Structure formats: C-alpha cells, structure tokens
Amino acid sequence: MNSIRIKCPAKINLTLEVENQRDDGFHNIKSVMQLINLYDYLDISVEKSDSTLIELTGNNPELPYNEKNLVYKAADLFLKTTGFENYHIKINIEKNIPLSAGLAGGSTDSAGTILGLNILFGNILSKEKMNALCASLGSDLNVCLEGGCLLATGRGEKTEKLPFVSMPVTLIKPKNLGISAKEAYTKYSLKTNKPKYNKTEKIIEALKHGKEIKEFLYNDLEYAVFGDYKELQHIKSILPSSIMSGSGSTYFVLENSNQEFPQDYQVIKDLHFIPDGCSAE
C-alpha cells in the first residue's frame, strides 16, 4: 500500500470551561468534546525518492500549502520521529470544515495525517506514541484521533472517554467571521468577572445516567467574545438555545433546525454525533 484516504471529522464543544493560564501561555481547560459527521478528507501517497519532500495540495485557496500548515508539520514530525528519510509524501486536503470556526478543522487534519502515515508505514507507532505526537502539535488533535465523546483537560490534549449518545446537530456560522483561539482566550483573560458554573461536571453526570444534556451546554469563550460581534448576537437572537463551539465563530444546536438565516450565514444541517475519530476510508 502506498496511498490511503483518511476521513477527518469536526468536533464541537458541548462545554468549554477555562481553568487558568499556564506558564507556557496556554490555558488549562475542562471541556466535553464530541465528534460529528462533517469531514475533511486527506488523500495521502508515499513514494521512495532521492530526498525527503512533503507536497501539499487542496481545494481551499485560503490555506497555506507549505510548512505553515499543520498537516505539513504533522508529516514532518512523523518522519523525524520514525527516522524515515528519502520519501516523497503527497497530501491533498479536501476541505469541507469551515476555517477559523471552532470546529478543529486544522487539528483533525493533522491528526489524520499522523494516522494515515502510520498506516502506510506499517503501523510503526503505537496508539500511545501517536497520541504523544498529537499532543506536541496542538490542543485538539488527541480528541480528533480518539473520537466519540470525550472529556478534554490540560490544554485539550488529555482525554477521557465518556458515554456516547446519538444526537442531531445543526451548525450556523457567519461566513465572513473567523475568531482565533488567541483572540478568544486573550479576551477571556481580560474579563474581571469569570463565573464558574461547573457545567462540565454536570453534563458528565447527565451522560453517565442517560439524562438530557441540553441544559448544561456552555462555553466560557462565548462569554468572552459575544459582546464584540453582532453576528454572534444575531445567531443567539434567532436560536436562543444555540452555543458557540470552541473559540468560534460557529454556533450549534442539538436538533435538526430548519430556521432560516441570511445569505451571509452558512448553515450546515442534518449532522449527528459519531462514535469515531479520524479513520481510513
């Protein structure tokens, strides 16, 4: 086998509560994350070569197809970790997950890269080692690699499996608004009042006992950025039960919503929770 196609699912944050800022500049969080059936696809091929070359292509002109891309960084880290040299690695990124959306699009693609290369190179790395590589690259990669419903702690790299329930999802994103994690966490840090609702513990208990979870959806980062963007306020005014995912700007509701939005909003319907993470197709 010298080529493979990997499905890389998006995630949503059912809860996201910020604990404190770390010495490395990141924040410790506690978050219940859930993978959904919105996928990017990676077509990865590997050939022997006179030198090592990582070549990226894709369908989204907004992405950098060079060493700045997390997919490139993941492939480079895989090669350096395993010691493989003189390979030409081609990766085409079919992007379906919106950018700067709080849905882990970059993280899931880089986790999928590690998984795909590991399969192509004969599963040389254990699951534990793949998780270690994911943790070194970013905050949500481990969630995307493991899949299902998980409690994520630390900066998001420590995961614990939670009971899986099947639920519908609708996403709503302002087309022209992306919010970076840096912006959202910085604005949260500047808040003088940081309420503690302990929604994460409450939703975990609900999941464990098969109870309704919608009343426990919560995101500290929504609290941090909501007042600065009329687009987010518009979504909330139309769907009061909606919650922002990650650092935004995507909101979601746990239902198949037919609510209409203006053309400058992207609505992705008929989604649902999935029990898996990145996988070979």
Residue positions annotated with a catalytic role: 11, 140
Q: How far is CA 211 from CA 24, 161, 207, 218, in A?
A: 38, 17, 6, 17
Given a contact cutoff of 8 angstroms between Cβ atoms, the answer to whether 141 and 212 are in contact is: no
> What secondary structure, in 3-state letters, does 209-236 show?
CCCCCHHHCEEHHHHHHHHHCHHHHHHH
Sign of CA dihedral 132, 95, 39, 87: negative
The DSSP bridge pattern shows strands 3-13 and 87-94 to be: unpaired
Q: Which two tokens stand for residue 151?
A: 């409690």
Q: How far is CA 231 from CA 28, 102, 176, 177, 254, in A?
A: 28, 15, 9, 8, 20
Residue 179 forms beta bridges with which residues?
none
